[in-house]
Structure 1
Amino acid sequence: MKNLAVVLMVVLGINSIYSQSAKSNGFISDNFSLEGALQIFKQSNTMEEFENSLNNENSNVNNLDLNNDGYIDYLTVSDYQDKAIHVIVISTYLDKNERQDIATIELERKGVDNAIVQIVGDEDLFGKDVYVEPFDNDERMDRSKGGPNATEIVSSRIIINVWGWPCVRFIYSPRYVLWASPFRWSYYPRWWKPWRPYQYTVFVNRCAPHRYYYHYVPNNRIVYARNVYEPYHHRSEYIYRNDYNHYERHGVNDRDGYRNDNRMSEHSNDRNSPRNEGRYNNNPRNNEGRNNGRMESRSDNRNGGHSESRENRGHGGNEGRKGRRQ
């Protein structure tokens, strides 16, 4: 009996230590994996495939419910370009009028067969200057010290050339047309079914494998991408004005290096809340007007201009069509 009690105490102690190490800081960004999004981008062949994979529950990247309706938010993807630089924006609609950017994948072609990439967390969700990029270890022998046993193995992380990624070659191919997601609030692909958010301890374990080949860095390697992106930046006032989204920076190599001055308070999914109006029916994402979906077509303007044309579309059967900017 005593042995059983000892075993139980050990098990409970291990569980307690684990739950403390996997505890959420209360940041919204805890529910989106920047590393996972970059890994999916690496594995995708097209931008449409990338968007589909982001919204697949089994991809273990998205656990966001920004509008607090109790269901995961659909993520849209749009690409903006200026010469050799592409900025791929991942965003979501909180309602029919508000849109919030989650992160941007910044891509620059440096030569004939050379390109670099970073994913940048949106400041309202992740704090300032949060950059993640792929890396590899470069190990070499250091014989600078004297003596027969003085040789050391020095390991350093090197910047990865991502030209070999299928989606990178697809984007820089002559036939590529800038991708703009055809979906918006209440207008989603037929195959997509929203799921309930996972508890943080579950989600952090599901997305853990993505962290092995990506790391946080302190600087932006594609500085001009900010100028390309800024005219198209979407910011929700609801997200921006909440105190629990204001960060104070501590470190860049650990997501736990971000601290809130104000801890996130409890938010109930009150069905009487104005934010939840019209969302609680048999299918929480199928609102009236779903068949009045529109696809945005934007023309690329290298001088920073931005024009939009829209055409009305029905929902049925349109998810296979290319939502690309002409």
Structure 2
Amino acid sequence: MKTQILLLTLMTSVFVSQMQGQNRTIVSATNSEISDNLDLRVVASIFGDSRNLQDFERQLNDPKLQISNLDLNNDYEVDYLRVIESVENRTHLVIIQSVLDRDLYQDVATIEVEKDRYNQVQIQVVGNAYMYGDNYIYEPVYYRTPLIYASFWVNNYRPYYSSWSWNIYPSYYYAWNPYPVFRYRHNVNNCLNNYYSYNSYNYVNHRRSSVAVGIYSSRRSNGYERQYPNYSFARRNTTVNNRYELDQKRNNRNNSYSQNRTQSQRVATPQRTESNRNYSQNRTEAPRVTTQQRTESNRNYSQNRTEAPRVTTQQRTESRNYSQNRTETPRVVSQQRVENQRANTPQRPEVRNENSSRNSGSNNANTNSRSNGRRSS
């Protein structure tokens, strides 16, 4: 019985440790740098594209757009961002807060809109110092005048204050899980390039409106900062002052890494080309040697072949002497025959003449005897 209890306790402990390991893996999947999960340029873009602050809050929390990737309370759900506003004379201070728990909020950024004496509107998007470092500020330059400006300076204007809080959200909203930072950056870049490509965002390190600074000092909410005071941007990044300097450092590191890669590739490619050239030269030299050997062997062989026929031709020419001998001997024999014939031919006519003379003599005798007989008769 005791052994069974021990086995059960061991199995349960192993199971619990595995579940904890899985939970730890899920939590560690989110990036430790908080400022990577909300790009203030996109916040400025959708602000200029909104009709009013209610529409601006809706776009901040639209599950289709997914502008934010913040999960400060680590519940594996992207935090809802609520919008509140304070107004003093011609200055509007818009505060973006992350809803963490019941009556627990953390300021993320502020949008300071002010109209000067020349009716020129100045706007700055300021990141919270706890999350983005000191003086992390963008000034958007909109291609067209935002519609939201028309709603600010009207008679009997009432500042906007979000009516949504913890577990009380609008019908269009549903929480989504945070995803890796590289995917969030890809989504942000698509939003900036596709929908807001005509706008520009200039970085500055000083605030223009002193009125907005005074208003914010009495309206700030820092629930997350009070829970984790040692997790500020200055503690997370000791070598830079704000998020902009961190981006510059990252870009320089990436550029140096890419340059080192290109240089190493350039160094590697000449070695490869030299080795390839040496290999190709060796290959070309080897065929040249073999071709020379082949040509020499072919030449020797051809010379031998040519010399051998020349010898045979000489032998054949010598055989010509034999043929000449053969031809000369028949000529000698034929000459001898002709001479013999010539020697014999003169004798034959003489015989014929003698016979003819004899015949003629006998004929003459016969004729004479016949004539004498006739006469005697």
Smaller-chain TM-score bracket: 0.5 to 0.7
In structure 2, the CA distance between the partners of 1:51 and 1:210, relative to structure 1 (3 Å rule), is: same
Give the whole-Å Cα distance in 1 for the aligned partners of 2:115 and 2:155.
14
Residue 213 of structure 2 corresponds to 226
Task: State the Cα distance separating 1:90 from its structure 2 match.
Answer: 0.3
1:128 to 125, 129, 134: 134
Residue 42 of structure 1 corresponds to 48
1:186 to 155, 164, 167: 167
Residue 375 of structure 2 corresponds to none
What SS does structure 2 have at the residue aligned with 1:207? helix
TM-score, normalising length from structure 2? 0.52
What SS does structure 2 have at the residue aligned with 1:224? helix
Task: State the Cα distance separating 1:35 from its structure 2 match.
Answer: 0.6
2:80 to 66, 74, 99: 74
Task: State the Cα distance separating 1:195 from its structure 2 match.
Answer: 0.4
What SS does structure 1 have at the residue aligned with 2:80? coil
Give the whole-Å Cα distance in 2 for the aligned partners of 1:219 and 1:125.
17
Give the whole-Å Cα distance in 1 for the aligned partners of 2:248 and 2:135.
12
Task: State the Cα distance separating 1:236 from its structure 2 match.
Answer: 1.3
Give the whole-Å Cα distance in 1 for the aligned partners of 2:65 and 2:245.
22
Q: Which has the higher contact order (CA 8 A, sep 6+)?
A: 1
Task: Establish whether residue 85 from structure 1 lines up as the match of residue 91 from structure 2.
Answer: yes
Residue 124 of structure 2 corresponds to 118
What SS does structure 2 have at the residue aligned with 1:228? helix
Q: Which residues of structure 2 form unaligned runs of 5+?
A: 1-29, 251-377
Q: Which amino acid aligns with 2:223?
A: S
Q: Which amino acid aligns with 2:157?
A: Y
C-alpha distance after superposition, 1:156-210 (max 9, x if no partner): xxxx798x21101211122431100000111111221110112100001111243
Task: State the Cα distance separating 1:255 from its structure 2 match.
Answer: 4.9
Task: Establish whether residue 210 from structure 1 lines up as the match of residue 201 from structure 2.
Answer: no
What SS does structure 2 have at the residue aligned with 1:177? coil
Q: Which amino acid aligns with 2:155?
A: P
What SS does structure 2 have at the residue aligned with 1:232? coil
The structure with the largest strand share of the pair is 1
In structure 2, the CA distance between the partners of 1:54 and 1:105, relative to structure 1 (3 Å rule), is: same
The structure with the largest helix share of the pair is 2
Q: Which amino acid aligns with 1:130?
A: Y
In structure 2, the CA distance between the partners of 1:74 and 1:102, relative to structure 1 (3 Å rule), is: same
What SS does structure 2 have at the residue aligned with 1:120? strand
Identity %: 27
C-alpha distance after superposition, 1:42-91 (max 9, x if no partner): 00011110100110133342100110000011110011011111100000
Q: Which residues of structure 1 form unaligned runs of 5+?
A: 1-23, 136-159, 260-326
Q: What is the correspondence of 1:87-166 to structure 2 with a 5 Å cutoff?
A: 87-111=93-117, 113-135=119-141, 164-166=145-147
Q: 8 Å contact 1:251–1:258 — kept in the other structure?
A: no
Superposed CA RMSD? 2.5
Q: 8 Å contact 2:112–2:124 — kept in the other structure?
A: yes
Residue 235 of structure 1 corresponds to 222
TM-score, normalising length from structure 1? 0.59
